[in-house]
Structure 1
Amino acid sequence: MKTYRLEFEQKLPVDLDTAWDFFSSPLNLAEITPKDMTFDVTSPNMEQTKMYPGMIITYKVSPLFGIKLDWMTEITHVVDKKYFIDEQRFGPFAFWHHQHHFSEIENGILMQDILHYAIGYGPIGKIANAVTVHKKIHSIFDFRFKKVEEVFGKL
């Protein structure tokens, strides 16, 4: 199974506490996800819960062609105001490991994402990645970049 790695970064003109509070809340994920993905957090009582290692988060999402899928991730690691990692437990990927890193820089913070993913299905998965999945992931992160700039501004 082929595993792919993507990296994204964004500088934001906010303090670390503000960035951490926003990005470590699963409820804000829907706000920075393209509307055509109809991303809905289905875990109960998420507004009352601070992220912690072992936390399970469930979603309904339409990643491709409007097909609604169940997605479950686990927050596997959290170092407060430094990084957190979510890993897929059930969902559209054969493997999903997403690192979210935050560091202070002059006049703001640097947010870095490191994503490893795999599709499965052998050669069919490689073709699917080349034709749609890779582009879709980039479009999701492009949307997020623009949306986060709308929320926090540019640095």
Structure 2
Amino acid sequence: MAVYFECVTRSPQSVRELWDKSLDIDAHTESMKDSGERAVAGVVTGTIGLGEQVTWRARHFGLPLRMTSQITALDEPSSFTDEQLHGPFKYFRHVHEFVDGGTETIMIDRIEFAAGWGPLGWLAERLVLGWYMPRLIRTRNTFLLRGTTGQAAQ
């Protein structure tokens, strides 16, 4: 069984600004600097696009992790999806949506993942990953809002 959560972030930035920042490898790297996350293969800098892959190396919970993901869907500038091809999860899918709310942009992150590892993974999902993963997304989104007065992710 997979874990599913959503983060909603509101910003005075335009859909285009948030879209561009969300597809920017360098912005992602900077937003995840606390975990030492960096792109090591595929698209390692600049903007990633449909069908392109990036391999990330990071340290979470003191463990070195490597994850390769691919942009599997892209509807510019409304939504895009990235999915894990190889890595620590049995399954990982992240849908990014951008809605023009008139005076604000509403950015919605819909994430579904499964840890794998049998009963141990099920336990990790419920005890650790269920709170840790939304925190990572909120950290990333707070970084994307820098320089604005937008509301952090909920």
- Name the SS for the 1:58 alignment partner: strand
Residue 14 of structure 1 deviates from its aligned partner by 0.9
1:26 aligns with 2:25: yes
Q: 2:121, 2:43 → 1: CA distance?
A: 36
Task: Name structure 2 gaps, 5 residues minimum.
Answer: none
Decide which moves more: 74-83 or 23-32.
Answer: 23-32
| Alignment-mate amino acid for residue 38 of structure 1 | G
Partner of 1:85: 81
Residue 117 of structure 1 deviates from its aligned partner by 0.2
- Structure 1 pair 78–9 and aligned structure 2 pair: CA distance change class (3 A): same
Task: Name structure 1 gaps, 5 residues minimum.
Answer: none
Q: Deviations over 1:35-61 (max 9, x none)?
A: 1x111111366445x432210111101
Residue 135 of structure 1 deviates from its aligned partner by 1.8
RMSD: 1.8
- Name the SS for the 1:6 alignment partner: strand
Residue 68 of structure 1 deviates from its aligned partner by 1.4
- List structure 1 segments (4+ residues) > 6 angstroms apart after TM superposition: none
- Name the SS for the 1:140 alignment partner: helix
Q: 2:59, 2:97 → 1: CA distance?
A: 26
Identity of aligned residues (%): 20
Query: What are the residue-to-residue correspondences of 1:1-155 with 2, within 5 Å?
Result: 2-33=1-32, 35=34, 37-43=35-41, 46-47=44-45, 50-64=47-61, 66-154=62-150
Report the TM-score, using the length of structure 2 for normalisation.
0.88
Residue 26 of structure 1 deviates from its aligned partner by 2.0
Aligned residues: 151
